[in-house]
Amino acid sequence: MPGDTDRFLLAEAAALRYCISENGSNDFDVMRLLVIDDEENIRKTTAAALEALGHETLCAESSVAALKQLEGAPFDVAFLDLKLNGESGLDLLPKLLASAPRLEVVVFTAFSSVETAVEAMRRGAADYISKPFTPEQLRKVLSRIAKTRKLEGRVVELESRLATDAPGIDLTTREPSVQKVFETALKVAATPATVLLLGASGTGKTVLARLIHGNSPQRDNAFVTVSCPSLSRELIASELFGHVKGAFTGAATETWGKVAAADGGTLFLDEIGELPLEIQPKLLRLLQEREYERVGETRTRRANVRLIAATNRDLNQAVKAGQFREDLYHRLDVIAVALPPLCERKADLLPLAGDYLRFFAAQSGKHMRGFSMEAQRAIERYMWPGNLRELRNVIERAVILAEGDLVEARDLPERLSRPASSDSVERVDIGARITLEEVENEHIRRVIDRTSTLEEAAQVLGIDPATLYRRRKKLSQEPRDGSPVGVGA
């Protein structure tokens, strides 16, 4: 039978439950909690208080039972008693964290002292409560943990956004097709559905993924990006799922991977069409069962992530060619959103250029009024094969080179001023009396012009970056409309 203290705790928990149901005052998301205490009454009353706050709560009476619970499913927070039938909670604490690194441990005990509090924190505890405690104390502790987690997620997202060094997405558009894309993105954002973003390189798939995350229930948690083409076959499994120490040559420490980092938030897989076939079943399992294993580990872990994928490839054709799993393709293709190329967004072209102009002018401390008429005409005439990425790079370059408060045509790359038909017939006339080397050289030039870096161009061409560097150096020495290849790209 519960004692007076337990009855008081249950009564206060019931009162708190009533307040929350009436006022909606619970200020954090539902969590999965574990109460570890050797006294049955404490376990029951603490669980009742936590469940009154709307959380899923399980109990364990010993270190063995606690570790077994953690093996079965993920928990957000564990409440740990320091006295466990002769066992030390302080000794159990690092074992809990080793088993579940994202777990927050709150220590409570009737034998509180400054020394035990300091030692608990030193061993990794998130907080410390003295017995007897009230449901309101539990609520405040969980609220602090929830706010800290959300801040950590925001820091990850903001660091990622700063790394892109570009202005945010503008939802104003004069193009009906683009407006439909934005409307679809905002509708799907509120759901947990997997989203597949389609479009050529540079059309803004990453920016749209951030828009979806920013309008989703996961907005306060992390947005984690994995660029599939940037990683080798050997490293992508470790990057995604993490690895244990010694799992492979060079694995000197253990890592938790991007899936664990995105737990509770959004995992964005950029250019998923480049994901190796041997990794695809693991991703399918994560999508279907929310389960995965780290490289070199047999223990199954769980992660609640919202997946957004992007590709510039035709995945349906890749399936037919045996380069992409059909079951994974259908699992990804729940909601597909296609972004049009910039050449089909003529009405948005100058407003977008203006946005980039203001961003880079502020970044460089310049006062820029806009574009001259000649520069505007050059921007409107150009077909923008590199899409938004190319436009961004061109405007950044123009702001740097501009001598006045207007961007002039001379501040733009020479290719924008070149008439559209100046050499297009000769350059694309496959089958004409030209050598294979000439065709290959022209293809290399165009790919370099349409990509942001030599690494990206090498990836498109399927050659080593060092090889491309040598080819580019040779091409830049050949006359081509009076300018070396890649100038201004």
Domain endpoint, select from 323, 340, 357: 340
CB atoms within 10 A of CB 316: 12
pLDDT tens, residue by residue, 214-244? 999 988 888 999 988 877 777 888 889 988 8
Residue 405 lies in a domain: yes
Q: What is the mean pLDDT of the chain?
A: 81
pLDDT tens, residue by residue, 328-348? 999 999 999 999 999 899 999
Residue 55 lies in a domain: yes
41-55, 389-403, 406-420 — which one is most confidently predicted on average? 389-403
Phi, psi at 314, each rounded to 5° = -85, 100
CA angle 184, 185, 191 (to 5 degrees): 100
Q: Are residues 195 and 325 in the same domain?
A: yes
pLDDT classification of 150: cutoffs 50, 70, 90? confident
Residue 155 lies in a domain: no
pLDDT tens, residue by residue, 354-380? 999 999 998 888 999 999 999 999 999
What pLDDT is stored for residue 352 in this prediction?
Answer: 93
- State mean pLDDT over 243-269: 86
Q: Are residues 34 and 143 in the same domain?
A: yes
Q: Are residues 347 and 297 in the same domain?
A: no
Q: What's the CA gap between 227 and 453, in Å, rounded? A: 15
The CA radius of gyration of the chain, in Å to the nearest whole number, is 28
Q: Are residues 253 and 174 in the same domain?
A: yes
| Helical packing angle, 205-214 and 135-164, nearest 10° | 160
Q: What is the pTM of this model?
A: 0.60
- State mean pLDDT over 432-443: 74
Q: Are residues 86 and 69 in the same domain?
A: yes
Give the total number of structural domains in the chain: 4
Cα dist. 190→24, 219, 269, 301 in Å?
20, 10, 19, 26
- State mean pLDDT over 103-119: 77
Q: Are residues 278 and 391 in the same domain?
A: no
Q: Which domain holds residue 367?
A: 342-417
Q: Are residues 434 and 393 in the same domain?
A: no
Side chain identity, residue 280: Q
Q: Look at the block and give the residue holding tokens 């150009």.
A: 382
Residue 158 lies in a domain: no
Query: Residue 362's domain is classified under what CATH number?
Result: 1.10.8.60
Q: Are residues 23 and 134 in the same domain?
A: yes
Residue 93 lies in a domain: yes
CB 269 within 8 A of CB 310: yes
Full 3-state SS string of the chain: CCCHHHHHHHHHHHHHHHHHHHHCCCCCCCCEEEEECCCHHHHHHHHHHHHHCCCEEEEECCHHHHHHHHHHCCCCEEEEECEECCEEHHHHHHHHHHHCCCCEEEEEECCCCHHHHHHHHHCCCCEEEECCCCHHHHHHHHHHHHHHHHHHHHHHHHHHHHHHCCCCCCCCCCCHHHHHHHHHHHHHHCCCCCEEEECCCCCCHHHHHHHHHHCCCCCCCCEEEEEHHHCCHHHHHHHHHCECCCCCCCCCCCECHHHHHCCCCEEEEECHHHCCCCCHHHHHHHHHHCEECCECCCCCEECCCEEEEEECCCHHHHHHCCCCCHHHHHHHCCEEEECCCHHHCHHHHHHHHHHHHHHHHHHHCCCCCEECHHHHHHHHHCCCCCHHHHHHHHHHHHHHHCCCCEECHHHCCHHHHCCCCCCHHHHHCCCCCCCHHHHHHHHHHHHHHHCCCHHHHHHHHCCCHHHHHHHHHHHHCCCCCCCCCCCCC
Q: What's the CA gap between 343 and 347, in Å, rounded? A: 10
Provide the token pair at 168: 């945010």
Q: What's the CA gap between 332 and 65, in Å, rounded? A: 38
Cis peptide before 192 (omega within 30 of 0): no
Residue 390 lies in a domain: yes
Q: Which residues contact 227 (CB under 8 A, 6 or more apart)?
A: 270, 271
Q: Are residues 244 and 142 in the same domain?
A: no
The rounded percent of the chain whose pLDDT value lies above 90 is: 38
Residue 154 lies in a domain: no
Question: How crowded is the C-beta side of 375, counted as CA atoms within 13 Å?
Answer: 22
What pLDDT is stored for residue 445 in this prediction?
Answer: 79
Residue 75 clears pLDDT 90, i.e. is over it? no
Q: Are residues 297 and 347 in the same domain?
A: no
Q: What's the CA gap between 453 and 382, in Å, rounded? A: 20
Residue 306 clears pLDDT 90, i.e. is over it? yes
Beta bridge partners of 79: 35, 106
Query: Residue 229's domain is classified under what CATH number?
Result: 3.40.50.300
Q: Are residues 271 and 293 in the same domain?
A: yes
- State mean pLDDT over 444-467: 76
Least confident of 235-249, 407-421, 444-458: 444-458
Q: What's the CA gap between 386 and 2, in Å, rounded? A: 70
Torsion over CA: 209, 462, 389, 453 (sign): positive
CB atoms within 10 A of CB 54: 14
Q: Are residues 46 and 121 in the same domain?
A: yes
Residue 41 lies in a domain: yes
Domain endpoint, select from 340, 367, 392: 340
Provide the token pair at 287: 């999508």
Q: What's the CA gap between 392 and 76, in Å, rounded? A: 41
* Of the candidates 128, 93, 90, 124, the residue with the CA atom closest to the CA atom of residue 107: 128
pLDDT classification of 425: cutoffs 50, 70, 90? very low
Query: Residue 76's domain is classified under what CATH number?
Result: 3.40.50.2300
Domain endpoint, select from 389, 417, 445: 417
